[in-house]
Structure 1
Amino acid sequence: MNIGLVSCTKRKLDHACPARELYSASALFRKARAYCERHYDAWYILSAKHDLVHPGDDLAPYDVTLKRMGVADRRAWGRRVSADLRALGDHVFYAHAGKDYLEYIAGVNLVNVLEGLTFGQRLRWYNEQAAKEG
């Protein structure tokens, strides 16, 4: 199976709802979610607070970011997420996330789809992909 991974975002809705909707205040998240829904067998969210999240899981808004965590906490987060991904099985995981979310994930077949692209370049990439698909 091919599984998409989308990072959470700082901008969130102000009420509890399914995770797929919580981060929809962010244009980048909306575009990444739409791409993953079209191209992969399943997709999950990489949450700084909740680790690996199924899009249908209900979440309340929170204010936790990997950037504000120390190295030890980011490593621990990466170990937990890596274990969660391995528990899903031997799949290919296509990450639509920045370096902060990927640097400590290990032991899984991980493809960094947008490696090296800036925020603006990521938005353009999703727009270009959507245009190609018609």
Structure 2
Amino acid sequence: MSLALVACVKTKRSEPAPAEQLYTSPWFKKARQYAIQESETWRILSAKHGLLHPETKIPPYETTLYDFSADQRWEWTSSVLKSLHPLLRIHDEVLILAGKRYREYIIDPLRENGVTVRIPMEGLGLGEQLRYLNEQLDG
């Protein structure tokens, strides 16, 4: 099985919506499309809510992992890993479309459990990520 993880973004609707529609930035929309194209299923990494199913309705919020201490990020990661556990098996693949803070503590535990982790945009700036996503979606 393949699962894509897409990070939340700052740009959101002003009213509650399903998570997949709450985030409105061009990056998120393209990352969502790419996740759907490349994986059997996908989830959203939300700084406030942890792991979100795309159809879960939530209100807008202003929380980012970039404001979290290392201890808070460990706590958040623990919650995300607990939510991922029933979704993944050995030899599954996780595609991560998220910045360093959102993925830093997730990668090693997944790999230690026999899950393949792919981070296709690692090291790319925002403009380069958008270009990468455009190329993948147009191809």
TM interval, short-chain normalised: over 0.9
Show the counterpart of 2:95: 94
With structure 1 as the length reference, what TM-score do the two structures score? 0.94
Q: Which amino acid aligns with 2:49?
A: H
Matched, 1:37 2:36: yes
Aligned to 1:118: 125
- The CA RMSD measured in Å over matched residues stands at 1.0
Q: Match for residue 2 of structure 1?
A: 2
Q: Distance in 2 between matches of 1:118 and 1:12?
A: 21
Identity of aligned residues (%): 39
Residue 76 of structure 1 is matched in structure 2 by: 75
TM, length-normalised to structure 2: 0.90
Q: Match for residue 17 of structure 2?
A: 17
Q: Tell me, which stretches of 5 or more residues in structure 1 are unaligned?
A: none
Moved over 2 A (4+): none
> What is the Cα deviation at residue 87 of structure 1?
2.0
Give the gaps of 5 or more residues in structure 2.
Answer: none
- How far does residue 113 in structure 1 lie from its aligned partner after superposition? 2.1
Q: Give distance in 1, aligned partners of 2:105 and 2:76.
A: 8
Tell me by how many angstroms 1:14 deviates: 0.3
Please give the per-residue CA displacement for 1:23-73, whole angstroms capped at 9, x wherever unaligned: 0x2000000001111121000000000000000000100011000011110
Counterpart-to-counterpart distance in 2, 1:79 and 1:104: 9
